[in-house]
Structure formats: structure tokens, C-alpha cells
Structure 1
Amino acid sequence: MAISLLLSLFILSIFFLVIRKRKRQPTKRVPPGSLGIPFIGQSLDLLWAMRANTAEKWMSDRAKKYGPVSKMSLFGKPTVFIHGQAANKLVFASDGKLSNHQTESVRMILGDRCLLELNGEDHKRIRKALALFLKPDSLKNYIGKIEEEISIHLEMHWVGKTEVKVLPLMKKLTFDIICSLLFGLERGARRDELVQYFQEMIEGMWSIPFNIPFTRFNRSLKASLRVQKMLKKLISEKRTQLAKGGESSNQDLITCLLGIRGAHGEEVISEDEIIHNVMLIMVAGYDTSSVLITFIVRVLANYSNVHEAVLKEQEEIKKGISYGCFLTWEDLGKMKYTWEVAMETLRMVPPIFGGFRETLEEIEYQGYIIPKGWQVFWVTSMTHMDDNIFLEPSKFDPARFENPASIPPYVYVPFGGGARICPGYEFAKIETLVTIHYLVTRFNWKLCCSNNSFKRDPMPEPTHGLPIKITPK
């Protein structure tokens, strides 16, 4: 009897100790929210909101409902949505915990050997190879080529016109620049065929990966295969020309990557890696730059004081250029206010809505557990439009960027951040500054449409492609 009583007291003591410990250390749990319908989850809701220009509000309402961390399901995978400065830091500075990861649709269209999918040593190797072509010291040699493409474009599509649609023309221009600098591909039937397949390819990048005939995703996959086939042929031609000594190894991106050799003369970058990363840079250079330039044109039409300041800066630079000469790297360095306008445009209308990572291990964040293998989803505008970070965030104010060092880290992320910052950042900057220089010094314009809204598909698209009335100077 005494033994039974002692045993009971011992068991009760253990029980109360366990209960007390649990109270002191709350049970870890996954974030609040719902995974929704299996596989589809909230994918359609997000895509519809993006196309209706309510995606930022949709994400903001979700944050108000669930807090800084919530679970959902996007594009076939369980996902945790996080936002804020700490969230951005986790996304861009936690390579040991999070891996590069895109949605299944992006991975299948762009390939699994592109920079968006690589991690560790493979990521460093490919990033280092791309940097040989995309770093400022290399890009300054291509300013003349960019100017040449812009001059041809303006003569063909702007001069003699009274009205133009800016977005489709800027997409045409940025693709021509890409073809010239990335591939060394001259104007003609092959370039025209490539742009057709490329446009079909990017349409289904943010979609539910159902490979069913006649769907967007199915058309994009087919177009991706055609683009890859064309690039494979182009690589073969350039490899032959390099072997014969007929091309410089830094003539364009493809020859640059082919020219990188190991200790024993072997190619360091595989053919698949060249194809997949060229496709990635095609997408980044085509969409992000064209969207940025388009929205700067809209800003300059809406804010006369901003237009006057940009024009004054560009006219001063133009005075110092001798007839028949190109802009120089030093000239671009003088375009400080113009780039502040570009940065403020990127803050208010970031081309990239958000992105994904994948957990390599179980992560504890904000008191919740993010299970291994789940997607982590971040949205650019959540910090860009946060009034605790940017005073009066809905007001267009380029002065915010007069001193970039004053901007806290991991809150302004149109090009990503940390080791994951976009390697094409400087390329986009050059492309944008040179284009705006020629537009403001050669044309005046006003908007044909007073509607300032836009939709995302998945990039921002202003109403009707931003039609403007233009007059030459």
C-alpha cells in the first residue's frame, strides 16, 4: 500500500513537472492560415488579384488578418508568407537555411540549371561567370552598342509618329538590346522568330503547372523548348567560330561563357547552364527594364517638376558630348537625379512582385515553425509601401534616395539583396539611363489616357500599354 502511494506521488510529480515545463516553453506550431484546396490553394486568388491590380491589398489584408507569418498554398506547394525587414533578411541572407527556389512553372520553363535554382558552389560558379560579362568594368564597353540600338529604335518607331504605345515599344527595344549584347544576333528573320517564341514562353511563368493542351502553361513549355533549340544552335555556331579564332571571347554573353576555361582547357560552364542562364537574363533584361522605363515615362508625364529636373540634368550632359560621339561611363555617373527618379519608380511599382525560397531544414521564425521543404514567399511592396519605413509612401519623392546609405538594409529590394542581389542590376541601370537620356532630349509627350492604374500578369502593365502623344524637339 505504501509502495503504491509513493509510486502514485512520483508519477503525479513527473506529470506536474511536464505541465509546468510546457507552460514555460509553449509548443511550437506552424503559422496560422489555410492551405486551401489541395494543389491549387490560394494560387488562383493571387493571380486574379494581380490581374485586377489588387494584389498588394490582398497581401496586406492577409498580413492584417494573420500577422507577419501565415501559411497558404501557392502553385502546388505549401507556402509560408513572411513580410517585413526581418523577413527580407531571412530570404536574402540565410543560404544555410533556405535554398534558391522558384515555382514549378518557372523551373520547368527556364530550366533547373539557372541561377534562380542553384545553390552553394554551383551558384557561386555561375554567378562568378555571369559577373565577368555583367560587372560595370565590362558593361562600360557596351554603352555604344546600347546607344546604337536605341538610335535605330527611335528612328524606326518614334520619329514621324504622333502617338505611340510605350510598353510594347520598350519591350521591343530591350529585346533588341538583349539580342545584340547577349547573343550577337543581328536583325533579321531569326531574331524575329526568337522574340515570338520568347513572348509565348514568358506568358505562363506564373501559372498552376498543369501541362494540359491549350493552357498558358502548355504553350509556354512548348515555346521554351523552341527557344532552347534556337539557343543550342547559336551556341554551336559560336563554339565553332571561337575554335577558328573568328570571335572574341568577350564579344557577347554566350561567347564570354564559352570562353571560360578550367585548368586543363575544359569548358567550365555546361551547355545546359549556358542555355538556362541566358534564358533567365533574357527574361530579366526584357521585362524588368522595359517596365521600369515605361513607368518612368508615365512619371515624367504626371509630374512636371520631376520632368523639368530630369531634362535639365540630361541637357547639361548632352552639351558636353561632341557631335558623333557616344555617352561615356562618366556621363552616366552624372545622371544622379535621373537614377533617383528610377529608384523611386521601382519603390512604388516594383517589376518583380515577389519571390520564393525553399526551406532546407525546419526553421523557427517569429515563434512559428516553417517545416522543411515548404516554400517561403516574400512580397516586394510590403516594405516599399510601409509608412514606418518610408514616410508618406504613396507620395512620389525621388529625394528619398539622395543618400542611399540612409535607407535601412533589406527594406528596399526591387533587385533582391545581399548575396542574392540581381547580377544584372548594373546592366538594367545603364539600359534605363541611356534610354531616358534619348527620350527626354528628343521628344515631348503627354498621356492619352488619364487612368493611372495597371495590372500584373505577372509584370505591371499600365492601361492600354501607356499610349502617349509625342512631338519631336
Structure 2
Amino acid sequence: MAICIFVFVAVLGVCLLSTILLRWNEMRYVRKDLPPGSMGWPVFGETTEFLKQGPSFIKNQSARFGSLFKTHILGCPTIISMDPEMNRYILMNEAKGFVPGYPQSMLDILGTYNIAAVHGSAHKNMRGAVLALLSPAMIRDQHLPKIDDFMRKHLSNWDNKVIDIQQKTKEMALLSSLKQIAGIESGSMCKEFMPEFFKLVLGTISLPINLPSTNYRGGVQARQSIVSMLRQLIEERRACQEIKKDMLGYYMSSEENRYKMSDEEIIDQIITILYSGYETISTTSMMAVKYLHDHPRVLQELRKEHLALRESKGPEDPINWNDYKSMNFTRAVILETSRLATIVNGVLRKTTKEMELNGYVIPEGWRIYVYTRETNYDSNLYPDPYSFNPWRWLNKIMDAQKYLFIFGGGSRQCPGKELGIAEISTFLHYFVTRYRWEEIGGEELVKFPRVEAPKGLHIKISALPTEERK
């Protein structure tokens, strides 16, 4: 009997304490001019619900509080905006009090000098350096030949194999980027770099609590290892006084009329470029393979475009700039894959001063999550929005419509957009002209906070018969 009373009192005490903590945390953020919403637990807020439930959590909160509501996620008080017009205003008006507002975990792991975090003149200087590296002329003359050479080799021995296309596209995105950015090809450094980089990626979306066995601790430690490797590479290049024609060589070279970066800035830029390209390229490539398998008519049209291109070339002739620019349906497949899979759910901004939005006052230093996911499924913008229909993108107006946030918006639009599309296009070219494939296992796909197959996405590959290559 005494034990039962003790258990009852303990449970009652826990419930009472939980109620007090929740109420106390809500009271901390009570202001009549704040948007409605809920703040969850002290410190943790509603991070667990946000990461586990994702779109369902945001939809439920929006149904309760409207398209602009407050919450507390990833260690920060945050306003979530689901209104397309409001989202466009925020993204297009950085100079009016909005700066990047990425969570502390991402800032710690990508570095304080990364282009996504800096603003003002620092952002202008660094973005200028990145854009010079990713101009159409640079893609045509420097990057595309390297991408083509890499893809030929990477996809050369997949015949009659069962592969995890998720793992293969992850390796593809990272190794291809390492070759372009720092001239690093397969070898001991790649083997050492890859597992550390994968841990770094996991740590970027986590609570910034530095405890053993947490993704955050793993990400911070992985960053330290990667910084050490990149610093050693920079020192080796300086010692041999060799100037290589890659992104690292460009950053290290001294030219007039160009912003000169410190080693710390160079390292943070390389990590950020690797991170940004890796997520987008690997996931879009994997999901394109998935959607093409599930939609034979789309695959037939895509293969037709690429086989026609190969007819005008010798077996060993590489893809050139004119070939890439002619891949209209391929580009449509990539855009539709990005939209339907929602590779990017939204972007974070932070207020630099107290601001008014839709009649509410947002305090200085609060994050604003510009949540663009639901825009991708707006039937007014995309008829039959849940169908995979690349043909919708062949209307050029679609690519320029003002609510397209697949690649960000405003002065923060992804500078590597064209390079990323070129890389995925080249991958698809060699994949669909060499192989056909079948899914095995029927693995589950998760689409939040990242698009991934937790157990992998396994496919059985066979060579495309000769008669189908004509």
C-alpha cells in the first residue's frame, strides 16, 4: 500500500512539475504583440515534435494559430511563416532588417565565416568570389570537363550489381565536389575525409548540446578533423608554390581588385560549398532515380533526349556546354524532382532589430523560418501538385515565377544552382544511357528533416540492351 501511495505521489509530482515548467516557459514569451503559438519546454522548446513530426507539426500549429506563429525550435525562439507573399517579402528584403538565422549547431559546425552566415560587406565580398568561380564560363571551361570525367568513372562498373543508390549518390556528390574544389581524387585523403564529412552533416541539424554520443558532439569533432586536413592541404600547396586550377587554388591566389581571404575564411567557404552541394546533389539524384523508376513514360522521354545527344558524338566524346544547355527535359526532371520531394523545406532568417510583420512585432534576435514546403504543393501554382510531371516546367514562365524558392531567394539565392544542375544532368546522362534498373526491397522514404531512405534505397542494375540505345 505504501509503495502505491509513493508511486502515486511521484507521478503527481512529475505531472505538476511538468505543468509548471510548461506554463513558466509560455509566460516568458507572453507579449500581446507577438504572433500566437506555443513555446514548449524550457531549453528544448518544441524541437522534438518539430524534428519527429515535421510537416505534420507545422500544419497542426498553422491550423491552430494561422500562417504566422511562434514556437521554440533548435534552441531559439522562432516565428514560422507559411504565407507565400510574406515569405517572398522576407527573402527579398535582407537590407531591411533580416540576416541569415541558421541554428547555432550549423554555425558552430560550418564555421563563423561561411557564406550563408555572414552579411553586409563580408557577404558581398565572399559571394563575389564564389560567383566568379561559378560563372557560366567557368562551368563551361573548368568544371564541366571534370564533372564529365568523374561521372564516366564513377558509373563505369555498376552492371549486374545490386547497389544502394542513396549511398552511391552521396559518394558521388562528395567525391565530385572534392575533385573540383580541392583537386582531391580517390585516395587516402578521400577515405579519411568521407566518414568525417558524413558526421559533420548529421550534426548541423541538432540541438547544440555538447554531450557524448550526440550528433552535435560528433559534428563538432568531425569539423575539427576536416579543418586539420584542409589546413594541411593549404600548407602543402604553399610549400610547393604550385597554383592549381581549382577552387582552392583560386582562393589562395593573390590578384588585384579581389577580396583576399584568410585561411580561416577559405576553410569555412570550402566546408560550406561541400555541404551545400552535397545535400542538394546527392538527394536530388537519388530521388530522380526513384521517380524515373516509378514513371516509365518520363524515363522514356528523358532517355530519348540523351540517346539523341549521344548519336551525334563518339563513344568517348565528353558532354560539353552546348550539350548541357540543350538538355531541356532533363532540367525539367530536376526541377520537378526538387519540387515534389521538397529537397529544401525552407530557409532561416534572423531579425537585426524589432520588426513589424502582418501587424505583429517580432523582437530583435528572433529567428524566422521561411517555410516554403507547402508552396510546392499549391494547386494554384502547380495543377495536380502531387503528380510527378516534368512537362509543367517546359513552360519557361514556370522557371521564373515569383514563388519558386527551390534555390532560395533574393541576394541569398544559391550561387551554385547552375553547377549543381549541370552535375545532376551529367549523372543522369550516363546513368540512363548505360543502364536500366529495378527497385528491390521497397525501402521506406523519410522526407523530413531530410529526404532519405533510413535503410537505403537498393536497386538491381543491368546494362541497357544495344537495341534500346538507338
Deviation at 1:318, TM superposition (A): 0.7
- For normalisation by structure 1, the TM-score amounts to 0.88
The letter of the residue matching 2:342 is P
- For normalisation by structure 2, the TM-score amounts to 0.88
Q: Give the gaps of 5 or more residues in structure 1.
A: 1-26, 50-54
Question: Is the CA contact (8 Å cut-off) linking 1:60 and 1:382 kept in structure 2?
Answer: no
Q: Using a 3 Å threshold, how does the CA distance of structure 1 residues 83 and 408 change in structure 2: closer, same or farther?
A: farther
CA distance in 1, matches of 2:37, 2:79: 9
The residue aligned with 1:18 is: none
Question: Is the CA contact (8 Å cut-off) linking 1:353 and 1:381 kept in structure 2?
Answer: yes
The residue aligned with 2:313 is: 321
The residue aligned with 1:76 is: 75
Q: For 1:42-57, what aligned pairs fall within 5 Å after superposition?
A: 42-49=46-53, 55-57=54-56
Total equivalences in the alignment: 432
The answer to whether 1:105 aligns with 2:105 is yes
CA distance in 2, matches of 1:471, 1:204: 36
The residue aligned with 1:153 is: 154
| Per-residue Cα deviation, 1:88-132 (whole angstroms, up to 9, x for no partner) | 213321112101121000000011100111111100100000111
SS for the counterpart of 1:70 is strand
The residue aligned with 1:114 is: 114
| Per-residue Cα deviation, 1:196-218 (whole angstroms, up to 9, x for no partner) | 11111111111110011221111
The answer to whether 1:192 aligns with 2:191 is yes
The answer to whether 1:37 aligns with 2:38 is no
The residue aligned with 1:383 is: 375
The letter of the residue matching 1:280 is T
CA distance in 1, matches of 2:332, 2:314: 26
| Per-residue Cα deviation, 1:1-23 (whole angstroms, up to 9, x for no partner) | xxxxxxxxxxxxxxxxxxxxxxx
The residue aligned with 2:385 is: 393
Deviation at 1:463, TM superposition (A): 5.6
Match among 327, 332, 340 for residue 332 of structure 2:
340
Deviation at 1:406, TM superposition (A): 3.9
| Per-residue Cα deviation, 1:172-210 (whole angstroms, up to 9, x for no partner) | 111110111011113211111011111111111111100
CA distance in 1, matches of 2:201, 2:304: 37
CA distance in 2, matches of 1:462, 1:414: 21
CA distance in 2, matches of 1:303, 1:380: 26
Match among 444, 450, 471 for residue 462 of structure 2:
471
Question: Is the CA contact (8 Å cut-off) linking 2:84 and 2:372 kept in structure 1?
Answer: no
Q: For 1:419-458, what aligned pairs fall within 5 Å after superposition?
A: 419-450=411-442, 453-456=444-447, 458=449
Q: For 1:27-426, what aligned pairs fall within 5 Å after superposition?
A: 29-49=33-53, 55-96=54-95, 97-141=97-141, 142-156=143-157, 158-159=158-159, 161-241=160-240, 244=241, 246-248=242-244, 251-262=245-256, 268-406=260-398, 409-426=401-418
| Per-residue Cα deviation, 1:114-153 (whole angstroms, up to 9, x for no partner) | 0111111100100000111112210112222112111221
The residue aligned with 2:13 is: none
| Per-residue Cα deviation, 1:31-51 (whole angstroms, up to 9, x for no partner) | 0001111221111111112xx
Question: Is the CA contact (8 Å cut-off) linking 1:129 and 1:260 kept in structure 2?
Answer: no
CA distance in 2, matches of 1:360, 1:349: 33
Deviation at 1:404, TM superposition (A): 3.4
Find the structure with the greater CA-based Rg.
1
| Per-residue Cα deviation, 1:278-320 (whole angstroms, up to 9, x for no partner) | 1011111212101001000011100011010001001001111
Question: Is the CA contact (8 Å cut-off) linking 1:357 and 1:375 kept in structure 2?
Answer: yes
SS for the counterpart of 2:282 is helix
CA RMSD of aligned residues (A): 1.8
SS for the counterpart of 2:291 is helix
CA distance in 1, matches of 2:400, 2:363: 29
Deviation at 1:408, TM superposition (A): 6.6
Deviation at 1:427, TM superposition (A): 1.2
SS for the counterpart of 2:384 is coil
Deviation at 1:379, TM superposition (A): 2.1
Q: Give the gaps of 5 or more residues in structure 2.
A: 1-30, 465-470
